[in-house]
Amino acid sequence: MESSPLVYVIDDDISVRESVADLLATVGLEVRLFSSATEMIEVLAKNADKAAALPSCLILDIRMPGVGGLEAQERLAKLQVYIPIVFMTAHGDIAMTVKAMKSGAHNFLSKPFRDQDMLDAVRSAMIHDRIRRESERGRRELRERYESLTAHERKLLSMVTGGLMNKQIAAKLNLSEITIKVHRGQLMRKMKANTLVELVKMEARLPKSDR
């Protein structure tokens, strides 16, 4: 069971910052406040390895002294941090909105916003983040399993998922069919695959570079 979802609120204005935190607290979200984007990026960069400590959503003001919201978004992308962002602005224009959405902003709210709109935006961002995290975790586990295979087992994997029968593999590797069967069982165990179909699916999800 994971700890309760974390939300970062970044706004140079204390009224906005605190009121948003209060609003999010009413639905039981854990909130961390930042008065500048630079501060937030530093913290994120430090915690990047520890997946659990990362927030599931950023609420970011567009117009701030120093680094503004859009620039912060660019910097995070460079750090390969892909946390959904909900932007806030007091005078949003179309061009700005388009730019933010193109760069992958999750939502865009004009100040002053309705409380429900903010909560909906945060909730949807968190769902988005959970899906992203789960698929990322799955990929990571799969890679760990794959990395535990020996060179022989990896070769065997590609041959099995390539559709070769035990007999054919044995002939190719110049080994007995029994030996192949034993190795194949070991492979299935290591990859935590119950059926051949599962193994094939896993193989397809592996990054090409790893194969």
Partner 1 sequence: MTGNGHRTQLLEMVQASQQLSRDTNETEVVATFLKSAISMAKVNRARLIGNDGGKMLVECEARRSHNDEIVVSHGRRPVESEGLFRNVFDTVSLTYMPVFLGTSSSERAQVWVNPQPDGIDSPMLCVPLLSSDESKEMLCLDTHSDSIPLDWSLISHLNILSAQAAVKRENLRLRARIALENRTIEEVEVALCANKKELAHMQRMSQTGSWRWRADTDLLEASSEFFRIYEIPCERHIQSAKLINLTHPDDLPLVRIALVKAIAARRVFKLEFRIVVGFGEIKYVQVEGHPQTDDTEDLQYIGVTVDVTERRNAENALQAARAELARAHRLSTMGEMAASIVHEVYQPLTGIITNAEACLRWLSKSPEETTRARDSARRVARDARRAADVFRGLRAVASNSGITKVPVDLDDAIREVAFLLQGELDRANIRLRLQTAVAKPVLGDRTQIQQVLENLIRNSMDALLPVVGTQKSLIVNSTSHDSMFAMVTVQDNGCGFGEHSAEELFDALFTTKPNGMGMGLKVCRSIVEAHGGLLQAERCEEETVFRFTLPYLDGTSVNDVRS
User: Applying CB under 8 A, which residues contact partner 1?
Assistant: 13-16, 18-20, 22-23, 25-27, 63, 88, 90-91, 111-115, 118
Q: Which is nearer to partner 1, 21 or 187 (CB)?
A: 21
CB of 8 to partner 1, least distance (A): 17
Q: Which is nearer to partner 1, 19 or 47 (CB)?
A: 19
Strand 85-89 and strand 6-10: the pairing is unpaired
Q: Which is nearer to partner 1, 71 or 115 (CB)?
A: 115
CB of 111 to partner 1, least distance (A): 4
Q: Which is nearer to partner 1, 27 or 79 (CB)?
A: 27
CB of 109 to partner 1, least distance (A): 10
CB of 94 to partner 1, least distance (A): 15
